[in-house]
Amino acid sequence: MQTTLADFLIGSDDAEEAKSIIEKCVHCGFCTATCPTYQLVGDELDGPRGRIYLMKQVLEGNELSQSTRKHLDRCLTCRNCESTCPSGVTYGRLVDIGRVIVDERLDTAGMRRPTKERLIRWALREGLTRPRLFGAAMRVGQIMRPALPEVVRRKIPVRQAVVPGGEVSTRKHERKMLLLEGCVQPTMSPNINLATARVLDKAGVELVVARKAGCCGAIRYHTGDHDGGLDDMRRNIDAWWPHVSNGVNTLVINASGCGAMVKEYAHLLRNDPAYAERARVISALAKDLSEVLPELMPVLTNGIQSTSTQEPVAYHPPCTLQHGQRLKGVVEPLLAAFGIEVRLCADSHLCCGSAGTYSVLQPEFSMRLRDDKLKKLTQTGAQTIATANIGCISHLQSGTMQPVVHWVELIDRVLANGNGAAKVLEDKAA
């Protein structure tokens, strides 16, 4: 789609990038069929092609209204449309840029978001990205849980028993990898990082956490606070760099939403002379856990029967894994090698409705997508649901009594008959 930037956007790197993305779109509409929000409402403006058209209007300086913002807000940023698009339109990047320009233009025109909406966005950015604050609030919520209304209670996970796999060991290994702990994961589901450490310990890998690292930046960046998100990324690069300089050559990420973000550091910081090169290196070192394990499988599966000996699981591949990171079909063979039968549900390419902060900001669409996903997962007949991202886990768990777990917890359980567990080492130096 030929696009002519409005005078006031000429010279803006983001606007130039958005223009070049839009110009790849040939308006074919293939993406519309796989867009979850289009499927919900059947409105072209709630599908990718319609949203791209809206963003073209915005970039060209045409008049815009609150309705433009509503349709962009309703997008999950699931990037399913990117997987479908034959022309390589990087829609996720486009909508990140488009939302900020729309907000700025509407602010200037006196159409700011309502106060309540701005407060919720601020609370999400400040609350979710501070692990201590979030942890304290969650613990209070867990204590109060029985007395809370059903709708709130379902959003607060029961406090998790941490170590099902045996004693914590402090085994040292020559081979070390960095682990991104995540900001909400250690509170909501502490067993995921511990299971990751235990599994990697069995393969002779020791995990190191840089304590000064924190949120990957996705929460701020994807809610329109680009400067705050970039600052989170720079802080993480500073925290990880001493380890990279010492020869650690893998950054393991077990939350696919965080992994998708860290892999974008290189692009997002490309124009920052102080961080561009280090961001490029960090993005190259970032690996989803499912990319790390294949090399270690001969050691891990030694003595394990790969014929189906475990309960079947219904696996939901998160959008940030299958569309964002383009890692499709990677987890299933790993589980199968441990004798776990994996069942994909119908329409497994579709979002579960979690989508980061979307479940709070767009609850109606989010719940409809969640319930539809749970219905299809249940139809597989498996009692346990597994996925690869803390957001999807907590969102799906809020709608079902069936256990929803991270897939590495299942491998950890199979291995639990072995030699106990490793702990995540604290970094003293960085």
- Residues in contact with ligand SF4 by CB under 6 A are 25-31, 35-37, 48-49, 51-52, 75-81, 84-85, 87, 89, 91
Nearer to ligand SF4, 27 or 132 (CB): 27
Which CB, 69 or 406, lies closer to ligand SF4? 69
The nearest distance, CB 77 to ligand SF4, in angstroms, is 5
- 241, 247, 252, 258 alpha-carbon torsion, rounded to 10°: 20
CA distance 257 to 259: 5
Smallest gap from residue 30 Cβ to ligand SF4 (A) = 4
Q: Of 96 and 181, which CB lies nearer to ligand SF4 in the complex structure?
A: 96
Q: Which is nearer to ligand SF4, 211 or 326 (CB)?
A: 326
Nearer to ligand SF4, 21 or 252 (CB): 21
* Phi (first) and psi of residue 380, to 5 degrees: -70, -20
- Provide the minimum distance between the beta carbon of 51 and ligand SF4 in the complex, in angstroms, as a whole number: 6
**Polymer length of the chain:** 430
CB 421 within 8 A of CB 166: yes
Q: What tokens appear for 283 in the block?
A: 């993005």
| Residue 103: CB minimum distance to ligand SF4, A | 17
Q: Are strands 425-426 and 205-209 parallel, antiparallel or unpaired?
A: parallel
C-beta of 78 vs 183, nearer to ligand SF4:
78
Task: In angstroms, give the least distance from the CB of 330 to ligand SF4.
Answer: 21
Q: Measuring CA to CA, which residue among 243, 251, 254 is closest to residue 285? A: 251
The smaller minimum CB distance to ligand SF4, of residues 79 and 316, is found at 79
The Cα-based distances of 22 to 17, 38, 188 in angstroms read 9, 19, 38
CA distance 260 to 263: 5
Nearest distance in Å: CB 349, ligand SF4: 10
DSSP 223: T
**Smallest distance from the beta carbon of 137 to ligand SF4, in angstroms?**
29
DSSP 84-136: H-TT---HHHHHHHHHHHHHHHHHHTT-PPPHHHHHHHHHHHHHHT-HHHHHH
Q: Is 176 left (phi over 0), alpha (psi -120 to 50) or beta?
A: beta
Quote the least distance from Cβ 362 to ligand SF4, whole Å.
10
| Closer CB to ligand SF4, 14 or 23, in the complex | 23
Confirm if 389 and 318 have CB atoms less than 8 A apart. Answer: yes
